[in-house]
Each structure stands twice: as structure tokens, then as C-alpha cells.
Amino acid sequence: MWAGVYTTKQAEAGEKIYFERCASCHGDALAGRERSPALSGPQFLDAWHGKNLRRLFDRIGEMPPGAPVSSAEAVDLLAYILAAAEIPAGATALPADRGRLGEIMFQRAKP
């Protein structure tokens, strides 16, 4: 994950989607609100550490309730969340393929 599993372009697209579809519940700073969990910060990093990106991608794909984002939007949102976690971008785009995402482990800190 720390070798750059998403592109800056994906994260920028994800940021736009986030502010259009997610910020009203999760907050402008991804810090969470009321019943919507934080998508950044120590608690978020601890909660997802050691889990594969497919799990996070699947969770993103269930949101928002009643009008979930598409797979393409979910992968861009995932890239934005990784960028917010200060995980570096790379030259290769994050795939929307669940199998490939299952091979990438979320790590809260660079190994």
C-alpha cells in the first residue's frame, strides 16, 4: 500500500465525489458526525489496520444508504481516503476489481 496503489487523479476525483455525496454525513474534514464514522484520524487507521482494501471498498459501495455510489465512484473515494491518510499516490490506478483490492492490506503506518 505504501508503494503507491492509487493515482493523484483518482484521489482528486474522489475528493469531488466526497464533497458532493459524503461530507454532509462524514464532515468536511472526514472526521465523522453523529452516527457517521470518521474516515481519517487515529481511530479510523486503527479500525482498518490489517484489513484488505476490498473490505473498505465494499463498505464505501454501500453508501450513502438508499443511493449508493457506483463501483467507479467507490474506488475514487477509496483513493481520496488513502490520500487523506497521507498514504502516497503512485503511477498505477487503484483497481475496481474486488479480487485485486483483496490483495492490498491497509496499514496505518509505513512498514
Average pLDDT, the chain: 95
101 or 110: which leads in pLDDT: 101
Entry pTM:
0.95
Q: At what angle do helices 71-84 and 53-60 cross, to 10 degrees?
A: 120
Average pLDDT over residues 6-10: 98
**What sign has the CA pseudo-torsion 109, 24, 11, 99?**
positive
pLDDT attached to residue 109: 81
Backbone φ and ψ of 33, nearest 5°? -150, 140
pLDDT at 95 over 90: yes
- Domains along the chain with CATH numbers: 8-101 (1.10.760.10)
Contacts of 15 (CB under 8 A, 6+ apart): 80, 83
Residue 72 has pLDDT above 90, yes or no: yes
